[in-house]
Amino acid sequence: MIMKETISQNSFTTRITAHHGLFDLHLKETLSYRDLIFLFVKRDFVSKYKQTVLGPAWALIQPLLTTVVYTLIFSGLAGLTTADIEGDYIVPPFLFYLSGSICWSYFSGTLIATSNTFLANSAVMGKVYYPRLVSPISTAFSHLISFGIQFSMFVVAWIIFAVIGGTSIVITPWLLMLPLIIIQLMILSTGLGIIISSVTTKYRDLQMLVSFGLQLWQYATPIAYGLTLVSSSESFSKYLFLYQLNPMTPLVTTFRYAVFGFGYFDLTYYLISWGVTIAFFVIGLILFSKIERTFMDTI
């Protein structure tokens, strides 16, 4: 005799379906997969430096070499200013370029890695179910480890220059802004990366333009020069308000303001930067939610 057991729909703890609303982002479900996020963070970080001679030391070498090149070329040969405001403030060029380099390194690295989310994880996503947002979130946190290593190097350099003296660097309560700045960097890079990853599942050409676009964006951000290069220029000062609509500009200048104790900070543009950051992140989540249902058919 064959016994048939009817299982009610409510007895299932997890239901996998492609039919859900546009704003159904599965955020609560994603949070429940925090152990998987940790495993992906560990995987990404280990695989990045696996079979390399220097290992995680590359996280220090790359921004260090970039800073040395910027110091020699932009400050030494080109003589570009490292001041964000007018005045007799002294900041070592090496420390100035290092602060901008570590911010941009985290932003660009997270954006590029996140923009490749669907393509890089298609094999796993096609076989195993898990909330797809786990992948870009783990990418952002894995790059945060490298940022932590680079920031530690910056702190050491900051202490050395502070002990030597001859600078205007001071400790202020603005240092408390650093966690908020880092969080914004994470949200902005992840949001833009998700947008690009969602679009590139259908239009692969965009993937080729990401690195080139980031190079142009870097020069449109005060990384290799101080903000006064734009504000004091007769040709470009009238476009300063447009320049500061770049969300990375207030982020970088505020970061330098926090770590040096002086510099440029405009609350209006900083809040606009946050508004743009949140807008990109929300748009990215909505696109991600829409694309994840069909990306295996187009990837």
Closest CA to 129 of 33, 47, 31: 33
pTM of the model: 0.84
Q: Is the pLDDT of residue 274 over 90?
A: yes
Closest CA to 98 of 163, 58, 156, 142: 156
Task: State the Cα angle at 36 between 53 and 111, rounded to 5°.
Answer: 60
pLDDT digits (tens, 9 = 90+) for 159-197: 998 888 778 888 889 999 999 999 999 999 999 998 888
Q: Which of 52-61, 130-139, 263-272 has the lowest mean pLDDT?
A: 52-61
Query: What is the mean pLDDT of the segment spanning 124-138?
Result: 76
φ, ψ (nearest 5 deg) of residue 186: -65, -45
Q: Is the dihedral of CA 206, 212, 218, 219 positive or negative?
A: negative
pLDDT digits (tens, 9 = 90+) for 15-27: 555 555 555 556 6
Give the model's pLDDT for residue 205.
66
Query: What is the mean pLDDT of the segment spanning 8-16?
Result: 54
Give the model's pLDDT for residue 128.
73
Cβ count within 10 A of residue 249: 23
Q: How many residues does the chain have?
A: 299
Rg, the chain, Cα only:
22
Q: Is the pLDDT of residue 210 over 70?
A: yes
CA distances from 164 to 67, 82, 159, 259, 283 (A): 20, 19, 9, 17, 47
Q: Which band of pLDDT confidence, cut at 50, 70 and 90, is reported for residue 2?
A: very low
- Token representation of residue 180: 């908020």
